[in-house]
A = this chain, B = another copy of it.
């Protein structure tokens, strides 16, 4: 029987209902300084002429449960920082400061220190100060050994052109590869790997030498390194961070009303984890592409003249990247071509 994200306990409809009703509450708080909030990758706030802050909040989701199963707590913090860094980069910002929120039922100093070690590593690697945080011990709120982790980032708008998203018909999509599942779709992945297949974190991933824990815990890639100079040089017209909702959900957010994106999903290599998840879950490609990043963690929209050079430079920074589609006349839709797994 095929599995869906809904079966795995995540109700996208409930989230959509809540989101609609939250929107008016958010709007009721709007101040003159607000430049972007609801529905963006990050909020934008004008401070002074030509100076804007970009802020975002995120969690790690149930990837945390894999960390708990594995007893490896020093990677999820870096996932969180990189997720936030990518979100504000998609709004044209570079990070200044990060804060974390760690909550658990009973505080284990070893665990929280390992978690913060990952947060601090992520901050250092992205040139971002860890400027504060909250550690909450909440008896009865979390099952034994379980914790939650959320993060908050403040950045400065440095690439207004990326935020402006002046994309055109004929622009090329450059897909930057993900390192794996990143931090979205874990309730689904866990339902397949642990509940359905009965694997343990120390088992080898079927067909790979790496363990299940290694594959699932691979750190969410930060795209600040490979993209910073490209943004500064004005080569990037828009960025979509591929998180919950996948390529359709996130690429669609940066398209104008009169353009569609055509994405050729055969343009990049299929990571073995997504093949296994598709096969074992029986989920159709649409469900897979809505739940997972499917191998692409960031999509840059660029002029066709700039694409080849940029792909070469991104690759030379160690991040595999591929031309994977283009913008055509349309109505803000995303079409996936070649999804016959």
Contact = CB atoms under 8 A, between A and B. Distances in A.
A139 B138 CA distance: 18
Contacts of A106: 9, 11
Given A55-B97, A129-B37, A134-B57, A139 B9 contact: yes
Contact of A45 (B30, B57, B97): B97
A37 B131 contact: yes
A164 interface: no
Interface string A106-141: 111100110011011001100111111111111111
A25 to B, nearest CB: 4
Given A120-B28, A140-B65, A99 B43 contact: yes
Contacts of A142: 141-142
Chain copies in the assembly? 2
A34 interface: yes
Contact of A131 (B10, B11, B55, B103): B55
A171 to B, nearest CB: 27
A109 B146 contact: no
B31 A128 contact: yes
Given A9-B139, A109-B18, A132 B99 contact: no
B45 A129 contact: yes
A109 to B, nearest CB: 4
Interface in A38-88: 38, 40, 42-45, 47-48, 51, 53, 55-59, 61-62, 64-65
Contact of A120 (B26, B120, B134, B148): B26
A29 B98 CA distance: 10
A187 B139 contact: yes
Contacts of A177: none
Interface residues of A, number: 83
A133 B150 CA distance: 10
A101 interface: yes
Contact of A148 (B37, B109, B123, B148): B148
Contacts of A237: none
A156 B31 CA distance: 14
Contact of A139 (B58, B62, B101, B108): B62
22 contacts: A9-B140, A11-B107, A18-B112, A18-B135, A19-B135, A25-B113, A31-B129, A33-B129, A37-B131, A43-B99, A43-B132, A45-B96, A45-B131, A53-B154, A57-B99, A57-B100, A101-B150, A140-B146, A141-B148, A142-B142, A148-B148, A152-B152
Interface of A: 8-11, 14-15, 17-19, 21-22, 25-26, 28-31, 33-34, 37-38, 40, 42-45, 47-48, 51, 53, 55-59, 61-62, 64-65, 96-101, 103, 105-109, 112-113, 116-117, 119-120, 123-124, 127-143, 146, 148, 150, 152, 154, 156, 187
